[in-house]
Amino acid sequence: MKIKKIFQNIFKKTFQFLFKFLYGRIIINQNQQKIHYKQKKISSDNYLYEIKNGRIYTDLVEHVAIIQDNFILPNISYQQIHGNFKNIDFNKTLITGTPRFLKKFKGSILSLVQGASGNNYFHFLFDIATKLKLCEQNLNLSRIDYFYLPGIANWQKKILSVFEIFENRMINSLQHRHIQADTIFALEQPWYKKGFVQNEINEIPDWIIYSLREKFLSYKKKFQSNDKIFIDRSDSLYNHCKLINNKEIIKFLSDNGFSSYKISELDFFEQIYLFHNAKVIIGPHGAAFTNLIFSNPSLKIMEIIPENHSSKKCKKFSEILNFNYKRIELPKINKHQDGDMFLEIDEIKKLI
């Protein structure tokens, strides 16, 4: 194994050296010289940048570098390491360079990439859709040639369609990790500026929630649904925040007037309607609860979550939108194939 590791490191270093030779070493411009870009203030603490002949590199996980003349631009590059937002000194391109072949595009590109978090439903709405909402007030989006995205899954396409952005104008960073364009537009992160991401979620500005409601609520798609709902998270690819006795809970709630929904089976516009129409929502913590921003005041929400879980997202939404919120913390169960929480029926009887 040691020999294999040595050869892997040699290959990695050689690979990086070749790409540094091809595209140059990435550096921080300490004196702010030779960089030419336009900067426009578009909200109280957010700026829109316009960079000529710039490049973008992403490792798809934690780092994005926006580059002009081999200088990395600090305010619009991105480095979130183990859930913590770091300053530009930690961007890995300063060490590795840009080890992918460059794809050149004619025209303009709006950068919306931010590593793996961009493919998370919460972050796609609160980061990427929020950036687009800010941009459309300051740019004519129809004149942007391409949008550089963390992915183009069907649910992402549905959200983007509200901005009249369709697949022929999308660049998928999963296919092109290193790109160049005549003009690159980029924004600072709209709310996440420092520290551990879960802590910063507690400080999400009210205006973002109201802005997303204003943008998307009119697109809600009515379908036959109950106003007492249980979020069935059994379709998640991950084992965390799942109820081991999920079927038992669904049966009990069904006998008491609830309907269960796997949110992944609904399209984005149906999800908006489901949450907007709901009067009572029970479910384990997960991305689906991002849709609470579309719910009405007086909603009764019961979030089931492992004890010591750091997320306070639902609590924050409830404070802003006046929900009746209850957090049910359960002991975390390790190494069970069906989940990591068990909710007693007697406990849920008390809740309803």
In a structure prediction context, what are the per-residue pLDDT tens digits for the chain, which is 352 residues long? 677 676 667 667 777 778 888 899 999 987 666 677 888 888 878 899 999 999 999 999 999 999 999 999 999 999 999 989 999 999 999 999 999 999 999 999 999 999 999 999 999 999 999 999 999 988 999 999 999 999 999 999 999 999 999 999 999 999 999 999 999 999 999 999 889 988 888 889 999 999 999 999 999 999 999 999 999 999 888 888 999 999 999 999 999 999 999 999 999 999 999 999 999 999 999 999 999 999 999 999 999 999 989 999 999 999 999 999 999 999 999 888 889 999 999 999 988 8
Please indicate, yes or no, whether residues 290 and 344 belong to a single structural domain of this protein.
Answer: yes
**Using CB atoms within 10 A of its CB, is residue 197 exposed (0-12), middle (13-18) or buried (19+)?**
middle
Residues 59 and 165 reside in one and the same domain: yes
Same domain as 200, residue 69: yes
Identify whether residues 127 and 253 lie together within a single domain. no
Closest CA to 233 of 222, 217, 249: 249
Instruction: Answer whether residue 272 is part of any domain.
Output: yes
Q: Is the pTM for the entire model greater than 0.85?
A: yes
CATH code, 256 = 3.40.50
Q: Could you give phi then psi for residue 188, rounded to 5 degrees?
A: -70, 160
How far apart (Å, rounded) are the C-alpha atoms in residues 118 and 132?
Answer: 13
Query: Quick check: 134 and 55 in contact, CB under 8 A?
Result: no
Task: Record the tokens describing residue 177, joined without a space.
Answer: 């990790």
Rounded CA separation 22/244 (Å): 53
Q: Distance between CA atoms of 62 and 141, rounded to whole angstroms?
A: 27
The Cα–Cα gap between 2 and 43 comes to: 53
Helix (H, G, I), strand (E, B) or coil at 16: helix
Are 49 and 141 part of one and the same domain?
Answer: yes
Domain check: are 42 and 138 in the same one?
yes
Residues 240 and 208 in one domain: no
Residue pair 240/188 in contact (Cβ under 8 Å)? The answer is no
14 domain-assigned: no
Q: Which amino acid is at 270?
A: E
Q: Is residue 307 part of a domain?
A: yes
Domain boundaries, position 103: 22-213
Q: Are residues 199 and 229 in the same domain?
A: no
Helices marked H in the chain — which ranges? Answer: 2-23, 93-96, 121-123, 130-136, 154-161, 197-201, 206-216, 246-255, 268-277, 313-321, 345-351
Give the rounded distance of the alpha carbon of 7 from its chain centre: 36
Query: What is the token pair recorded at 38?
Result: 């336009």
Domain identity same for 151 and 67: yes
**Nearby residues of 215 by Cβ (< 8 Å), 6 or more positions away:** 129, 133, 162
* β-sheet bridge partners, residue 325: 301
Residues 37 and 175 in one domain: yes
**What is the count of structural domains for the chain?**
2
Q: Say if 204 falls within a structural domain.
A: yes
On whether residue 9 sits in a domain, the answer given is no
Cβ distance 323 to 292 under 8 Å? yes
Report strand pairing: 146-149 vs 103-111. Answer: parallel
Domain boundary among 167, 187, 213: 213
DSSP track, 117-168:
GGGSHHHIIIIIIHHHHHHHTTS-GGG--EEEES---HHHHHHHHTTT--GG
Q: Examine residue 165 and state whether it is found in any structural domain, yes or no.
A: yes
Q: Do 156 and 31 belong together in one domain?
A: yes
Who contacts 235 (Cβ-Cβ below 8 Å, separation ≥6)? Answer: 262, 264, 265
Output DSSP code: residue 189.
Answer: -
Residue 17 lies in a domain: no
33 & 168 share domain: yes
Token digits of residue 246:
């999920």
Residue type, 136: E
Give yes or no for a contact between 313 and 220, defined as CB atoms under 8 angstroms apart.
Answer: no
Does residue 10 belong to any structural domain of this protein? no
Domain closes at, from 193, 213, 233: 213
Amino acid residing at 160: L
DSSP symbol at 243: B
Helix (H) or strand (E) segment spanning residue 301: strand 300-306
Report how far residue 159's alpha carbon sits from residue 104's, in angstroms, rounded to the nearest whole number: 27
pLDDT of residue 70: 94
Residue 30 burial (CB < 10 Å; 0-12/13-18/19+)? exposed
**Domain end position, chosen among 160, 179, 213:** 213
